[in-house]
Amino acid sequence: MNILGVIQIADWFLVVVCIGVAFYIWSTWTFNKFKDQGIPGPKPYPIVGTGLSFLIQGFIDSEKNRMRKYGNFYGTFMGRTPQWVIARDELLTEVLVKQFPCFGNRRAFSDGSELVESFLTVLVDEDWKRVRNLLTPTFSSGKLKMMMHQMNKCGAQLAENIGQLTSKPDPAFDTKEVSGCYTMDVIGGTAFGVDVNSLKDPESIFVKHAKKIFSFSLFSPFFLVAFFAPFLLKPLKKMGFQMFPKDSMNFFQEVTEEAIAQRKANTNKGGNTDLIQLMVNAHNIDITDEQKAEATEYGATYEKDTKEKGLKNVEILANGMLFFLAGYDTTATMMSLLLYQLAIEQEVQEKLYNEIQDVIGDKEKVDYNDIMKLQYLDMCINETLRMYPAAPIIDRICSRDVTINGIEFKKGDVVVIPVLGIHFDEKRWPNPEVFNPERFAPEEKKNHGPFDWMPFGYGPRNCVGMRLALLEAKVATVHVLRKHRLVTCEKTKTPLKFDKIGFRVKAGIWISAEPREN
């Protein structure tokens, strides 16, 4: 009998047990943080924290149910990381506005590469302030007016495409597919000056790579690591693992680099009005008083101790890519769900169509000022974003110890704002599961506070491209409804069944359309 072998096995078993016990203690060490303070919340488990409900119920249902169960102040865990979840207005005011210097940074899921670290959504502190201040004026009303030609062109093509799709034996079309092609064409033209033409060619290489980047699964290894153990992202990057498909990221990087090179070669700054040109113009320049005034008008802030300098090369590249990717998926999702709701709610659709006819009439091209007059269109989009917010949750990192209303937030604490839960809070929005644009009628504003609706975030760190996204959706909707009456069909599902990661429907969002007899 080999006694030595038995001893060796026993030693290894003991080592494994010790490692397992140590890991269990480490992974659960923080789990009493909220319990000891009498703060409610779901039960955490090793490794997954309180994320088990996401894996079982899906993100959407879990977020809605948590606030109903635990109220407007509770605690959760991402892995072993504690998260304060706040939905009380007095706390939201402090965290998002008054105490912004303490809560100015987001939790960043970064692989540590210089490119990803330069995304506006990842930048922190003074670098974020500088880049945000320079980018904010590119979304002013004056700049958006310059983009109307491209949006009108793409909107007309979208309406034509829907007509072609619905004239086939199977008249159904996927709103996410056509919306994605539209937003890709718009962002390609307005940000890069590139004629993507995906509406005419749905198999465009641009769409192919964009879909590939956004096709991640809740159970993909990198997503699980980012969700439950984000500290492992950088080591994995060094080992050769990628957050996103390498070929697709390389494609958009090359497109962006080429656009930047063309703008730099063209010394006539007025030759292009796209976002890349505006960023190149902000490269290695001092910030002017005019830029400061325009940025401040749209929510940016300048502090005396901020180092005022232009954009770095890598920041132009990174944020050019970010605009391309975020502008494609977020706006396409919003549009696809708006078209879906209009197909279901025929009375809402007809009321909106009548408003469009009253304001715009027979004009071939939609004017920016006319778009701004479409009050009911605003109401429809706002209600869509209430039910399907672009940012279902917002998070902030506490940068220094601070006490707010008797609650002690420590440096490094994560604060989460459950936007989706707030949007479905019956105290704020009665019958929240019902699509009702009248919630946003002018006379209803007095019944709602500033934090009842925040699909793009709130405060200085809200979505910088919000106004562009809204304008894109409005122009597209006007062009589509002037030509077509949206209707349901056999493929239309009610209610929609979202996958577990967010507002994605693997089976597609299917409706049909009938030509309007103008």
Which amino acid is located at 455 in the chain?
A: P
Average pLDDT value for residue range 12-20: 82
- Min mean pLDDT across 212-221, 294-303, 418-427 is at 294-303
Of the pLDDT bands very low, low, confident and very high (cuts 50, 70, 90), residue 295 is very low
Q: What is the mean pLDDT of the chain?
A: 86
Torsion over CA: 495, 497, 500, 506 (sign): negative
The pLDDT of residue 344 is above 60: yes
Question: Above 90 in pLDDT, residue 188?
Answer: no
Going by the annotation, the residues of the binding site are 463
Mean pLDDT, residues 385-392: 94
Residue 105: predicted pLDDT? 95
Least confident of 82-86, 214-218, 502-506: 214-218
Contact 260, 103 (CB under 8 A): no
| Segment of 37-51, 359-373, 411-425 carrying the highest mean pLDDT | 411-425
Please check the confidence at residue 20 and state whether its pLDDT lies above 90: no
Cα→Cα distances 439→61, 331, 349, 387, 431, Å: 23, 22, 16, 12, 11
Q: Sign (positive/negative) of CA torsion 74, 77, 82, 83?
A: negative
| Mean pLDDT confidence for 491-517 | 89
Q: Are 256 and 324 in contact (CB under 8 A)?
A: yes
Determine contact, residues 326/463, Cβ cutoff 8 Å: no
- The average pLDDT across 381-401 equals 95
- Give, for 459, the enclosing helix (H) or strand (E): none
Q: What is the C-alpha separation between 323 and 306, in angstroms, rounded?
A: 25
- Predicted confidence band of residue 294 (pLDDT cuts 50, 70, 90): very low
pLDDT of residue 255: 84
pTM: 0.89
Domain boundaries, the chain: 36-515
- Which residues is 415 bridged to in the sheet? 84, 396
Q: What is the CATH number of domain 36-515?
A: 1.10.630.10
CB 371 within 8 A of CB 363: no
With a cut of 50, say whether residue 302 has pLDDT above it: no
Percent of the chain past pLDDT 70, that is, above it, reads 86
Output 45 or 301, whichever has higher pLDDT: 45
Tell me the percentage of the chain whose pLDDT exceeds 90: 53
pLDDT above 70: residue 15: yes
**Residue 444 CA to its chain's centroid (Å):** 27
pLDDT, tens only, 312-326: 888 888 888 888 888
Q: How many Å apart are CA 196 and CA 209, to the nearest integer?
A: 13
Determine which of 198-207, 246-255, 300-309 has the lowest per-residue pLDDT on average. Answer: 300-309
Contact 384, 334 (CB under 8 A): yes
Tell me which residue has tokens 């680099």.
257
How far is it, in rounded angstroms, from Cα 65 to Cα 77?
16
Q: DSSP code of 310?
A: -
Task: Give yes or no for a cis peptide into 495 (omega within 30° of 0).
Answer: yes
Q: Is the pLDDT of residue 227 over 70?
A: no
pLDDT tens for 71-107 read 999 999 988 899 999 999 999 999 999 999 999 999 8
Please report, in range form, the residues annotated as the binding site for heme: 463
**258 vs 225, residue with greater confidence:** 258
Q: 474 Cβ partners below 8 Å, 6+ apart?
A: 371, 374, 377, 378, 381
User: Which of 84-93, 221-230, 242-251, 402-411 has the weakest average pLDDT?
Assistant: 221-230
Residue that has been written with the tokens 């996401």 in this structure = 54
Ramachandran angles phi, psi of 345, nearest 5°: -95, 85
195 has a pLDDT exceeding 70: yes
281 pLDDT band (50/70/90 cuts)? Answer: confident
How high is the pLDDT of residue 38?
93
* Structure confidence at residue 179 as a pLDDT band (50, 70, 90): very high
Q: What digits encode the pLDDT tens for the residues 120-178?
A: 998 999 999 999 998 888 888 988 998 999 999 999 999 999 999 999 999 999 999 99
Question: What is the rounded average pLDDT of the residues 225-232?
Answer: 68
